[in-house]
Chain A
Amino acid sequence: MTTTPDTLRVTVQRGTASALRRETFDVPAYENQTVLDVVTWIQQMADPTLSYRFACRVGMCGSCAMMVNGVPRWTCRTHVKKVAADGELDIAPLRNLPVIKDLAADMDPFFDKWVAAEARHHPSAGRADGFDPVTPQEPARAEADLGIECINCGICYAACDTVAGNPDYLGPAALQRAWTLLNDSRDADRDGILTAVSGKGGCHNCHSMGSCAQYCPNELNPMRAIAGLKRETVRAAWGRKRDA
């Protein structure tokens, strides 16, 4: 049986991109404690200048993701006991994103890529028009349902080695969102989505390493969505060739 240490030894990445440093804090250990609790304790009790980001604390908003002992995690739902049995924590901002300050990563590149992937709704009807009934049983709807619980936390983006090696790559989250829209009969720009996800940095850059699915806190599988996009882009390209 392991005993809980009285204090946790917590190393935190501090500073801005031009001057990164690491600082270590001793934080009281409790029986029930999340990594976000630890970060909050440091800011409230040890150093009020510590910058970090959170909102809901219940795993819905996707804003508190950080690297915890080298693994991207939603800190509000990560129990210290499960990730730091020896009482040592190393906390850093999300990988593959610029640092604003301390633990706050700049999410702009992440969301810019959602736009670049056309991962936004394209209206197909005005308010006076009728709309397509969508039943949960339809295969396309069932496929989209597998991806819509994404909370935009950026963990898959931080876990992905293709993102790390190719700054243009749109990333698992944006491509998965594009896939859910491609399966939505109420989205009006199927061709636009397929063009956006098959260009430079698109779905064909994915090497199917599966780290996105491995680390997604909601247990989604962006690799599956990206494989779907690969199939559809190839099918569309064949279709265009036949029509030409």
Chain B
Amino acid sequence: MKTPPRSHPLWLAFLLHRLSGLALALFLPVHLWLLSQAVTSPATLDGFLAFADHPLAKLAEFGLVFLLAVHMAGGLRLLALEFLPWSNRHKTYAAAAIGAALFLSGTFFLRAI
């Protein structure tokens, strides 16, 4: 059966929150493994840090910062939705969460390049 169209702001905010959470869950073990190389294999870490200076790696970091920021801002919106008195502005808040995440990640990117 056809499902109802989900292209409304709060459903998309839900999707973005889930996907960013999943992506971060996949990223974290790699991140921690790489940090552990500082102790176990400094040469590997240095090799990766050299690779991280590549512009494409900076672009990927921009994506990562966006995911982190949008997941945090979206999470704060959900906490507000569930614990603060109701507000009718949740579509605005969801848009603001994305805007704040883009601002943060964009600022990071401009400083990085």
Contacts and interface: CB of A to CB of B under 8 A. Distances in A.
Contacts of A72: 4
B30 to A, nearest CB: 27
8 contacts: A90-B2, A161-B6, A208-B78, A209-B14, A210-B9, A210-B90, A211-B6, A230-B83
Task: Determine chain A's interface SS by DSSP, over half rule.
Answer: helix
Contacts of B2: 67, 69-70, 90, 92
A159 B4 contact: yes
B10 A70 contact: no
Interface residues of A, number: 27
Contacts of B6: 161, 209, 211
Nearest 6 pairs of A and B residues by beta carbon = A70-B2, A210-B10, A209-B14, A209-B11, A230-B82, A214-B8
B81 interface: yes
Interface of A: 67, 69-72, 90, 92, 95, 158-159, 161, 164, 207-211, 213-215, 223-224, 227-228, 230-231, 234
B46 to A, nearest CB: 43
A70 B3 contact: yes
Interface footprint category on B: 10 to 19
A211 B8 contact: yes
Interface of B: 1-6, 8-11, 14, 78, 81-83, 86, 90
Contacts of B90: 210
B4 A71 contact: yes
B35 to A, nearest CB: 32
Nearest to B86: A224
A90 B2 CA distance: 10
A77 B4 CA distance: 18
Given A209-B14, A210-B11, A231 B83 contact: yes
Given A208-B14, A209-B11, A227 B4 contact: no
B11 A71 contact: no
